[in-house]
């Protein structure tokens, strides 16, 4: 081996290690996030008491009462609301784009949907605040900042995710399903809805789970329209505070146990997200298997 090839060999090996290290960076990031969140949040849960923290109905930092149950419910309610409003519209729109839409229209719709996905949540929130809140106020009375408003806004925000993932799933169904249905005398609509759509259900399920993840994690838009009252809501016209909102609203001035309790709120949120991610992977595995 002459000097030149040896140099090359060293260079090759060195860069291989650099690339490998870069690949491991994402593992390191996940590990760091877990360590820092859990190390700072879990002790607070211990101090407050696991059950008292998770199922406590009252969040009053002034009185040392730290129960995140209202926020857990708040997050679940607005997420459920977003799914109820966003998924039907999103899936039907995806069906339109995959199976009903003329080419020229698809060339208009498709970029619009991807731009919609890129609009920052703060702008959705601003739109919700200046347009939707006054409109809902007419119906609901009160401030207009409530679960219904947040659900509708989140439903709009998850539309692009639902549409693009569902459209991909619908397009992936073999054409023979459609042709078979037509050959049996089905109309175009029946063939699409009763032959193609069922075959795409695992992909659509994945879209729904992605939507759930986005809704649970959404912060800025929800803060501006949900009202943020830290009490258990009993109607969709009540305001609610989500886990995410709880952190942003109080982190600025919190200290000591209050601050740790907010980080613990983040831990609860993180666990919810990990669970949705797991079910997403599961939905995708189910599709492959």
Partner 1 sequence: MELWQLRRRPLSAFLRLCVMLAAAAAMLVFLILVGYILVKGIPNIETGLFEWEYNSQNVSLVPALINTVLITVLSLFIASPLGIFAAIYMNEYAKKENRLISTVRIAAETLAGIPSIVYGLFGMLLFVVALKWGYSLIAGAFTMAVMILPIIMRTTEEALKSIPDSYREGSFGLGAGRLRTVFAIVLPPAAPGILAGIILAIGRVVGETAALIFTAGTVARTPAALTSSVRTLSVHMYSLSSEGLHIKQAYATAVVLLVLVITINSISGALAGRIAGGRG
User: According to the binding rule CB under 8 A, does residue 181 interact with partner 1?
Assistant: no
Q: Is 274 in the site for partner 1 (CB under 8 A)?
A: yes
The least distance separating partner 1 from the CB of residue 261, rounded to whole angstroms, comes to 13
Say whether residue 88 binds partner 1 (CB under 8 A): yes
CB of 31 vs partner 1, minimal distance in Å:
8
* Smallest gap from residue 241 Cβ to partner 1 (A): 13
Q: Which of residues 98-157 bind partner 1 (CB under 8 A)?
A: 99-101, 109, 111-116, 118-127, 129-131, 156
Judged by CB under 8 A, the number of residues near partner 1 is 87
User: Does residue 161 touch partner 1 according to CB under 8 A?
Assistant: no
Rounded to the nearest whole angstrom, what is the least distance from the CB of residue 232 to partner 1 in the complex?
22
CB-wise, 122 or 139, nearer to partner 1? 122
* Residue 26 engages partner 1 in binding (rule: CB under 8 A): yes
Candidates 48, 95, 230, 240: give the one binding partner 1 (CB under 8 A). Answer: 95
Considering only residues 201-260, where is the footprint of partner 1 by CB under 8 A? 213-214, 216-220, 223-224, 244, 247-248, 251-252
Rounded distance, CA 183 to CA 202, Å?
25
Least separation in angstroms between CB 106 and partner 1: 10
d(CA 64, CA 50): 15
Among the residue ranges 18-26, 42-50, 135-143, 229-237, the one whose residues contact partner 1 (CB under 8 A): 18-26
10 binds partner 1 (CB under 8 A): no
Task: Report the residue number, 20 or 138, with the smaller CB distance to partner 1.
Answer: 20
Please enumerate in sequence order all residues whose Cβ is within 8 A of that of 85, keeping only pairs 6 or more positions apart, or say none: 151, 152, 154, 155
The sign of the torsion formed by the CA atoms of 271, 83, 133, 131 equals positive
Please list every residue from 45 through 84 that binds partner 1, using CB under 8 A: none
Q: Nearest distance from residue 210's CB to partner 1, in Å?
A: 8
Of 16-24, 55-63, 135-143, 171-179, the window that binds partner 1 (rule: CB under 8 A) is: 16-24
Residue 6 contacts partner 1 per CB under 8 A: no
Q: Supply the minimum distance, in Å, between the C-beta of residue 166 and partner 1.
A: 11
**3-state DSSP of the chain:** CCHHHHHHHHHHHHHHHHHHHHHHHHHHHHHHHHHHHHHHHHHHHHHHCHHHHHHCCCEEHHHCEECCHHHHHHHHHHHHHHHHHHHHHHHHHHHHHHHHCCHHHHHHHHHHHHHHHHCCHHHHHHHHHHHHHHHHHHHHCCCCCCHHHHHHHHHHHHHHHHHHHHHHHHHCCCHHHHHHHHHCCCCHHHHHHHHHHHHCHHHHHHHHHHHHHHHHHCCHHHHHHCECCCCCCCCCCCCECCHHHHHHHHHCCCCHHHHHHHHHHHHHHHHHHHHHHHHHHHHHHHHHC
């Amino acid at each position: 081996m002459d000097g030149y090839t040896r140099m090359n060999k060293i260079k090759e090996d060195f860069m291989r290690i650099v690339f490998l290290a870069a690949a491991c960076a994402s593992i390191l990031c996940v590990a760091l996030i877990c360590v820092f969140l859990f190390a700072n949040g879990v002790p607070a849960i211990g101090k407050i008491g696991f059950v008292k923290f998770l199922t406590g109905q009252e969040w009053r930092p002034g009185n040392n009462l730290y129960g995140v149950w209202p926020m857990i419910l708040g997050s679940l309610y607005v997420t459920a609301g977003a799914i109820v409003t966003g998924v039907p519209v999103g899936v039907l729109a995806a069906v339109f784009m995959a199976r009903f839409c003329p080419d020229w229209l698809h060339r208009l719709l498709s970029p619009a949907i991807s731009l919609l996905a890129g609009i920052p949540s703060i702008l959705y929130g601003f739109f919700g605040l200046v347009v939707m809140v006054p409109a809902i106020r007419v119906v609901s009375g009160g401030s207009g900042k409530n679960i219904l408003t947040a659900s509708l806004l989140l439903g709009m925000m998850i539309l692009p995710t639902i549409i693009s993932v569902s459209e991909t799933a619908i397009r992936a169904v073999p054409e023979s399903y459609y042709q078979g249905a037509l050959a049996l005398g089905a109309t175009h609509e029946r063939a699409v809805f009763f032959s193609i759509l069922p075959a795409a259900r695992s992909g659509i399920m994945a879209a729904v789970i992605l939507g759930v993840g986005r809704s649970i994690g959404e912060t800025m838009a929800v803060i501006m329209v949900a009202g943020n009252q830290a009490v258990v809501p009993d109607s969709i016209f009540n305001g609610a505070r989500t886990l995410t909102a709880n952190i942003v609203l109080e982190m600025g001035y919190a200290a000591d146990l209050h601050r740790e309790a907010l980080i613990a709120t983040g831990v609860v949120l993180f666990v919810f997200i990990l669970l949705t991610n797991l079910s997403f992977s599961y939905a995708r595995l189910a599709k492959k298997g």
